[in-house]
Amino acid sequence: MTSRIPRDSRLRLVRPRPLAAAPRAMTQRPSRRPAPRPPEGTPAQAELARMARSQLAGAARVAHWADAALGPGRDAGQHDGKATLSDASAERAAADLGLTVAQVRADWDTARLAGLVEVHGDSARPGWRLRAWDRDDSAVLRGWVALFDAWSLAHPEPPEQEAAAVAEVVSAMPQVLSFLQLSAGPVPVEQLLDLLEQRVTELRTERCEIPFGPQPEPEQAAPEQADPGQTDAHQADPGHADPEDTPLEPLLDWALHALASVGALTYGDAQATLTPLGSWAVWVKLEQICVAAQSPAGNIEAVAEEMLRGCAQLRPKAARDEYRAWLAARPVGSAVTELLGAARGEDALLRGLAFEALRVVGAPAEPDVRAVVDEPTLRPYALLWLAVHDGADPEDAHEVLTREEATWLWVDTAAAVADHGEAPLLVRHLESAVQPTVPMLLDEVRAVGHPRTVQVLVALAAAHPDPALAKAVRRAAFQVHTGGS
């Protein structure tokens, strides 16, 4: 006579994988679109990363020094909301590193722009890119691209330039950089100036709007009432300068020098040439725009929920490119609000993808993510996001979750797999559970109170090829449904 009760040996789980990998289980199917290849002659990623490390060596050195020498609670910064080094800290760093105070401050500013240090209020702390500096080429390249994106901050414009004209040139430079990338060689500055003038004219034309409705007639002062002194003073006031009267040649010179200072191009002898890093970065940005424009969902214009659905079938890298293009088209604050709104919905897949997109946002999303930690539906995702943001290895981030939170996240992720994945994916999802056996998993799943528990267990029972395990899972689903123990 044999027992019909399943033995534990048949229900034992394999060694669990880190739970942080579970939300990606349903996105690992091959992409229908082959990954674009960079232009011929582009160095390999390892060589590009070596160039980026060289460009950011001074910033990394100062960031490592601050990490070791400036502990929490010390008077290391000024209370300006920018985490600027105090005079004492800058002088100490200069002495320790054999630099001038001006060099230390310049490298510190570069480290902030590249994400090697992250600013939180009046304090700064090492960024995750600094932690991964020596072992992760992609982290180094993303840090350099962040500096490349902030070229106008890395090398501020001359104070005498009209602010509106500077803003127009900054907006027009992506087209100039695209032309340089397509030229794949030196381009005369005269040709770049002509292109810049055309683009600025287009921007001014797009901005020119005539108000609807009847307009009041302008008041005309009598000749004898006009004050010539006041008129001359107004005309001479540089604060009232018309940006259209500002010559663009000095601003182009400033922009090219700024881009050269971050290593994006070389500038001299009245011509400019993109460096391999600069050419690669411009190509990446053009590809991001093209990929998003080709998306069936029209991801750039789509709301967050539609954008996330459009990214669900992509490989992780392709999805991150989509997230960056979508984020670039809207203010950070409203984008984060949209993503968290999508995460609060009923679709667990969108919940996981929303937090993947928030990882692309980085430090600007931290206050909003911390604000949702107390929401039960979002808490496990927010805790994992914050752990990685604070420098934890993504493979170890799940250790910040309690057993109950980890079980809740396992059920939520299983719901995403059940809704959008295939049966084998749901069976493999068992491997990510923190419990060593199925009976222990089922006991804790029943207790965690996730609203999708019954549906997840029914789907798992239908998918699993082991009859004994499937029967045990169906029994647990029935007990949850009826409220039994």
Query: Which pLDDT tens digit goes with each residue over 228-250?
Result: 444 343 343 444 455 566 788 89
Helix, strand, coil shares of the chain as percentages rounded to 5? 65, 5, 30
DSSP line for 233-301 = HHHH-GGG--GGGS-SHHHHHHHHHHHHHTTSEEEETTEEEE-HHHHHHHHHHHHHHHHHHH-TT-TTT
Determine if the pTM surpasses 0.85: no
Taking the C-alpha atoms of residue 90 and residue 62, their distance in angstroms, rounded to an integer, is 10
Predicted local distance difference test score (pLDDT) of residue 120: 64
pLDDT at 229: 41
Band (pLDDT 50/70/90 cuts) for residue 52 is very high
Q: Given a cut of 50, is residue 294 above it in pLDDT?
A: yes
**CA distance linking residue 339 with residue 319, whole number of Å:** 14
Are 388 and 394 a contacting pair, CB within 8 Å?
Answer: yes
Among 74-88, 157-171, 218-232, the least confident range: 218-232
User: Predicted confidence band at 217 (pLDDT cuts at 50, 70, 90)?
Assistant: low
Which pLDDT score is estimated for 22? Answer: 47
424 to 49, 354, 417, 440: CA distances (angstroms):
38, 24, 10, 22
d(CA 203, CA 243): 12
- 454-469, pLDDT tens digit by residue? 888 888 778 777 777 7
Residue 397 phi, psi dihedral angles, 5° rounding: -60, -30
Average pLDDT over the chain reads 78
Structure tokens at 327: 């984020």
pLDDT of residue 383: 94
What pLDDT sits at residue 469?
72
| Rounded distance between C-alpha atoms, residue 175 and residue 198, angstroms | 10
Residue % of the chain over a pLDDT of 70: 77
Report, as an integer, the average pLDDT of 116-122.
Answer: 73
Percentage of the chain surpassing pLDDT 90?
27
268, amino acid identity: G
Q: Are 193 and 158 in contact (CB under 8 A)?
A: no
Total residue count of the chain as it appears in this document: 485
Q: Which residues contact 484 (CB under 8 A, 6 or more apart)?
A: 478
Residue 110 pLDDT: 92
φ, ψ of residue 211 to 5 degrees: the values are -60, 145
Confidence at 447, pLDDT banded by 50, 70, 90: confident
Calculate mean pLDDT across residues 326-334. 81
Segment 4-14 mean pLDDT: 40
Question: CB-based contacts of 98: which residues, under 8 Å, 6+ apart?
Answer: none
Expressed in angstroms, the distance from the first to the final Cα of the chain is: 28
